[in-house]
Amino acid sequence: MRPNRMLDADGHIIERDSELFEYLEPPYAKNQTLLGYPFFPTLDGYNRGALLARLGLYQSYEITPQVWIDALDKAGIESTVLYPTAGLAFTMIQDPHWAVALARAYNNWFADRFHGHSKRLRGVALVPLQDVPAAVIELRRAVSELGMVGAVLPANSAEIGVRKALGHPDFWPIYEEAERLDVPLSTHGAPSMNIGINSFTHFAMTGALEHPIAQMIQITSFVFEGVFDRFKKLRVGFLEAGTGWVPYMIDRLDRYYGMKKNGFVEYSREAKTKPSEIFASGRLYFSCEGGEPSLKNLVDRIGFKSLLFASDFPHESNVEHAIHDIEEMMERDDLSDEAKQSIFCDNTLAYYGR
């Protein structure tokens, strides 16, 4: 049985500096020197375009709004929430002033070019964690004025730019604002630098680990620094790492949650709830993949209400691959029709809430 609606919780756009340049505000507006350097830091030492060329997935990577609409129609998907590509390295930016300006330009560009083209193309905002007060203002503006459905928090800043894990109290004003606006915050990996795999020179080795390791770091920080105890209604998504790592983290964090005796707590005193209870609370969401055998394990642990379908198009996934992923999920006999309806539609509505 196909769900009555199908929504994509995580697709991507390909942002180009020459387009973002048109949306920069003073003192950067129309200053051509900016185009001599990349706007975003490189994700790492890999040229993802070289990988796509070797795999033969695309002859062109001009992912226009109409390309996305055509992809949605072909896959039978009603709408998508789009995330950046180069912008997944956004927290690696060292210069807070540039981070603020680039976030505004990106958000304005997306609202104009994509959401302005079709309301089926929704977006998450970039917010400059390098300047927390400015990030709060930009989150508010992006949601209230531009129609963004949340914000993306890049999961790996590679020990430059933003040098703190996301659970750190310095970022709590952002979480307070997200809770007030009733929008989610999504952590999303991509950069592989400085998480212990710099020696790899084959992307398959890097790609297997860059997302889950970064997400493990961030979810540990969120839970043990007490974010979910302080912000009772905050929704946070952990995207593009599958689900196999999640039961493992539930067990590991529960084990170390017990390290508080004789008045000593080996983590923040703000964390007052057992981690497994937080995972089962319905406020943490995880994107899943149709072919992963471990998915049933997580469903047995916390249910299916926190699982999201994510096409990842066009990253290493053309339309045919995205359709194959949908079919794999639909053909699973270890998930009920109710679970599939939730994964493909209901949970995305609950997560983004707009």
Task: Identify whether 268 is part of a domain.
Answer: yes
pLDDT at 316 over 80: no
pLDDT at 3 over 90: no
pLDDT at 156 over 90: yes
Backbone angles phi, psi at 267, to 5 degrees: -160, -170
pLDDT tens-digit readout, 47-85: 988 988 898 888 888 999 999 999 999 999 999 999 999
CATH, residue 252: 3.20.20.140
Q: Is residue 269 very low, low, confident or very high in pLDDT (cuts 50, 70, 90)?
A: confident
Task: Identify whether 155 is part of a domain.
Answer: yes
Q: What is the pLDDT of residue 131?
A: 98
Task: Identify whether 157 is part of a domain.
Answer: yes
DSSP code per residue over 324-345: HHHHHHHT-SSS-HHHHHIIII
pLDDT at 136 over 80: yes
DSSP SS3 for 126? strand
Task: Identify whether 2 is part of a domain.
Answer: no
Q: Is residue 354 very low, low, confident or very high in pLDDT (cuts 50, 70, 90)?
A: low
Tally of domains within the chain: 1
pLDDT at 313 over 70: yes
Which domain covers residue 136, as residue numbers? 8-352
pLDDT at 1 over 90: no
Sign of CA dihedral 77, 291, 205, 160: positive
Task: Identify whether 3 is part of a domain.
Answer: no
Task: Identify whether 147 is part of a domain.
Answer: yes
Peptide bond before 314: cis, by omega within 30 degrees of 0? yes
Q: Is residue 263 very low, low, confident or very high in pLDDT (cuts 50, 70, 90)?
A: confident
DSSP label of 111: I
Mean pLDDT of 102-112: 98
Task: Give the strands of the sheet with 151-154, arranged side by side.
Answer: 125-126, 151-154, 185-188, 236-239, 284-288, 307-309
Task: Identify whether 1 is part of a domain.
Answer: no
Measured distance CA(303)–CA(219) in Å, rounded:
19
Task: Identify whether 185 is part of a domain.
Answer: yes
How do beta strands 79-83 and 307-309 pair?
A: unpaired
Measured distance CA(96)–CA(74) in Å, rounded:
41
Instruction: Please state, in angstroms and as integers, the Cα–Cα distance from residue 93 to each residue in 100, 107, 153, 287, following that order.
Output: 10, 17, 13, 26
DSSP label of 346: I
Higher pLDDT, 183 or 266: 183
